Amino acid sequence: MNLEKLEKILSSEPKFRLKQARQAVFVDLIDGWNQATNFPLGLRERLNQECPLGIEAEIIKSQAADSFKALVRLEDGLKVEAVLLNHVDGRKTVCVSSQVGCALGCLFCATGQMGFKRNLTRDEIVAQVLLWARRLKYNPLKFPFERGAGGLNFITKEGGRVTNVVFMGMGEPLLNYENVIAAIRTLNNKEGLNIGARHISLSTVGVIGGLKKLAKEKMQINLALSLHAPGDELRSKLIPANKKYPLEAALEELNNYLEQTGRRVMIEYLMIDGFNDSREQALELAVLLKKIQPPLFFVNLIAHNPVADFKPSPAKRIFDFKKILRDQKIDVTERYRFGQDIKAACGQLAGKL
């Protein structure tokens, strides 16, 4: 799918034609131009030939049916993953990739072990959301599943639409800045998928310069900072790029972002058994976080999803870690784990099913 090419082809058509095309692609969610019956036959045939709308993907679902993973094949044969998270309250979140592979080499992340291949275009990012938007419209999800305290049974709402998008898939979004921002604008556009900016989230390790640029965009999106350690020495072991983007510099840019936007930021912290989950490290983290403007942040603890030799912290240690932070007057939550069994969870995406 090439929206840029579509716009170029339609530039010689009446002005209303582009608006009709956007309606067909983003609202009607057509997957072929023959469905655009308000277009002349000749134009439909040309668009089918020069600007096809098909998105090639293989899809698998988790046993709990709370997550679905698509392996999307790009025009050059490379593949990326896009995950649909199916929430019990009816929300449908798509986790998108921004790069094929990643240059940061984070040890806890399967994508980081792939190395970097290339950036995704705006249209390749948008296509990941369109894929799931079409599936929700034409193949409603009707899978009952059980989750939550007391063994309560929940049944997903049938069909629906994509309500949220998170840039937490393969790649570092701020290292593909222009295409990611263009994709967000398309997703947010009323003539696009019309997903509210406050329902779009971007996660970054804290690329220096990137946060400063993002603040100037004046977008109402949600930002998440992948922290994962209370100090540079430990963080550099997990995230080699920390040597280039050290904590002090990242937090300085984060505070600038908070001043410019007033938007609350999520601090992501992986809980890795015996590595960053001790009582002392919780207290160190609390000290570090007091350098961020309160109350414009909260901590999100993430039990590590198995990658390489790391293991998740035991539930009791996560509970204790959370209590220590709360005792230090820090707002903290714990992330629900989606899709481990199909390697669709945080840090498990590696461009394969």
Q: In which residue are the tokens 């090439």 written?
A: 2
- Flag whether 236 is marked binding: no
- Flag whether 171 is marked binding: yes
Say whether 158 is catalytic: no
Task: Find the catalytic residue in 95, 253, 268, 346.
Answer: 346
Q: In which residue are the tokens 């947010």 written?
A: 188
For residues 23 and 144, the answer to whether their CB atoms sit within 8 Å is no
- Flag whether 192 is marked binding: no
The torsion defined by the Cα of 153, 344, 202 and 73, in degrees rounded to 10, comes to -130
Calculate Rg over the CA atoms of the chain.
21
Say whether 81 is catalytic: yes
Task: Find the catalytic residue in 51, 81, 124, 268.
Answer: 81
Q: What tokens appear for 127 in the block?
A: 């296509």
- Flag whether 305 is marked binding: yes
| 3-state secondary structure (DSSP) of residue 132 | helix
In angstroms, the CA 252 to CA 258 distance is 10
Q: What tokens appear for 319 in the block?
A: 């509970």
- Flag whether 87 is marked binding: no
Going by DSSP bridges, is the β-strand pair 265-271/222-226 parallel, antiparallel, or unpaired? Answer: parallel
- Flag whether 227 is marked binding: yes
- Flag whether 62 is marked binding: no
- Flag whether 203 is marked binding: yes
Q: Is the peptide bond before 52 cis (omega within 30 degrees of 0)?
A: no
Q: What tokens appear for 145 in the block?
A: 């599943």
Per-residue exposure over 105-130, b if at least 16 CB sit within 10 Å of its own CB, e if not: ebbbbbbbebebbebbbbbbbbbbbb
| 3-state secondary structure (DSSP) of residue 251 | helix
- Give the residue numbers marked as catalytic: 81, 346
What residues form the annotated binding site? 102, 106, 109, 171-172, 203, 226-228, 305
What residues form the annotated binding site for [4Fe-4S] cluster? 102, 106, 109
What residues form the annotated binding site for S-adenosyl-L-methionine? 171-172, 203, 226-228, 305
